[in-house]
Amino acid sequence: MTNYLEEILAGKNIRENLIKLKQELKIEDQKQELVCEIKSKGEAILQLLKSEDAKVRKNTAFILGELKEPDYLKTLFDTYVKESQMFVKSAYLIAMSKYDYRVYLDKLEERLSFLRVSDIEESAKKHVAEEMKVLQNMIWKYKEPKKHEFVEPKQKLEIILTTQKNYSEVTSGQLKETTFKNLNAGVKIVTNRLMSVLPIRTYKELLFTLNCDKNLEKDVSFIAEKLVQSNLMSILKDCHKGEAPFYFRIELKSKMSLDKKSSFAKRVALELESLSNGQLINSTSHYEIEIRLIESNAGKYYPCLKLFTIPDDRFSYRQDVIAASIHPTTAALLAEISKEYMMKGAQILDPFCGVGTMLIERNKAIEAGTMYGIDYFGDAIKKARNNTERADMVVNYIQRDYFQFTHEYLFDEIFTNMPVQGRMGKEELNLLYERFFQKSKEVLKANGLIFMYSNEMGYVKKHLRIRKDYSLIREFCIDEKKGFYLFLIAVKE
């Protein structure tokens, strides 16, 4: 390592040796010794920032950052300001970020504001984007961005509530005094009473449509221009307290590879920052809105907006989960579909209760009587109790194998999400369903109901054919691609 430093000081192969020296500094067990050695030659190293070779300046800046010598900070900043090569500028900032640079914070903010409204040449955009990213992170280290508070908008807006495919009517059926149109996997709504829509439990996401071309060409400048010209900023200002800037991310729903998607999204974001005059700021860590571009089969992009500032308390009880936990909007959908068959005050059992989501959503749909949840997994039972307490409900949870469960009285309903195959073989899975139907007959009243969510139609139908004490009332295809169905099964008298 001494040879690299000696050759640099002797003016031999400076660029190559700086790169090797930089690599040596990454080796932790020798870093401290090397830092001390370089510091002893600090003035000579600083002179390399005056080199005519831009790559020498860039690598020197990285090395000075590792030295963390306070006296070098001013030199790094002054050289950064004077640097004419855009691809080098971020190196000075990265070096400065290793120091306490608060004295330069105002000037860094001025530089960032200037870049945001500057007309950048195409050839420099990549390097300017990198400089802006480092600047922003440096500023946020000491100045967290102020978050906007959501308020109900005054204007009439068009929104889309995304839903399970083919079940948009379940959500639209809960709307009041609102103009809507059912889509394949959502409901398009025009409303000036947004707050009345938020509590509906069966939608997945709430997206705002934008009043611009709904089939945007795959062109960075064109997309950014149309977004800025749309009602995007009007929606943001109407829905929030406080002024711009708003922090955003770009979500690209596209067939492009991950690398190409990332590159395209970054370019759109940079163009948006520039065209919005800094009212929109791209951030992958502090974003409060998402601008979503959804690619059509024709290769065009449908633009919409998601606000992360909107409080969603629908499932605030569900803070404890396990890997197998059902999504709460799915559980809510199952409960809503089943409502017409449910009985108020019914005695409910979930033999595979997990963290309690199915029982809680069942009770929210139609108030139940006594509820029992069983699971052999102790951690799930503990989490179910926590979730249920937050939901302000009472459920009797028992850690036990369902097939060993006994109870003094019979139940009106079983409302359950069946275990998925996982590591179970076909014979084991077949036995699970065989034992389930046998055990359920023992714990259900005559005319009792089973609401079963399962992706094993074959085993369900097989055992319903074999057994003569059950009848299949209805089946609902919930997720055709994954084979999930809701089966409504009755015990025969």
Spatial contact of 293 and 254, defined as CB atoms under 8 Å apart: yes
Q: Rounded CA gap, 342 and 359, in Å? A: 13
- Looking at the domain 328-491, which fold is it? Rossmann fold (3.40.50)
Confidence at residue 139, expressed as pLDDT on a 0 to 100 scale: 95
Domain edges within the chain: 2-142, 150-307, 328-491
**How do residues 44-86 score in pLDDT, each as one tens digit?**
888 999 999 999 999 999 989 988 889 999 999 999 999 999 9
- Looking at the domain 150-307, which fold is it? VC0802-like (3.30.2130)
Instruction: Give the sign of the dihedral formed by CA 32, CA 34, CA 36, CA 42.
Output: negative
Confidence at residue 120, expressed as pLDDT on a 0 to 100 scale: 83
* Strand locations in 271-368 (E): 280-282, 289-295, 301-307, 348-350
Confidence at residue 465, expressed as pLDDT on a 0 to 100 scale: 95
Q: Rounded CA gap, 433 and 459, in Å? A: 7
Confidence at residue 21, expressed as pLDDT on a 0 to 100 scale: 83
> Which amino acid is residue 260, in one-letter code?
K
> Which amino acid is residue 233, in one-letter code?
M
* CA dihedral angle for residue 66, residue 68, residue 72, residue 76, rounded to 10 degrees: 50
Q: Flag residues of the chain having pLDDT under 70.
A: 1-2
Confidence at residue 2, expressed as pLDDT on a 0 to 100 scale: 56
Q: Rounded CA gap, 447 and 441, in Å? A: 10
Instruction: List, as one string, the DSSP characters of 384-440.
Output: HHHHHHHTT---EEEES-GGG---SS-EEEEEEEPPP-TT--HHHHHHHHHHHHHHH
Q: What angle do CA 324, 326, 329 make, to 5 degrees?
A: 160
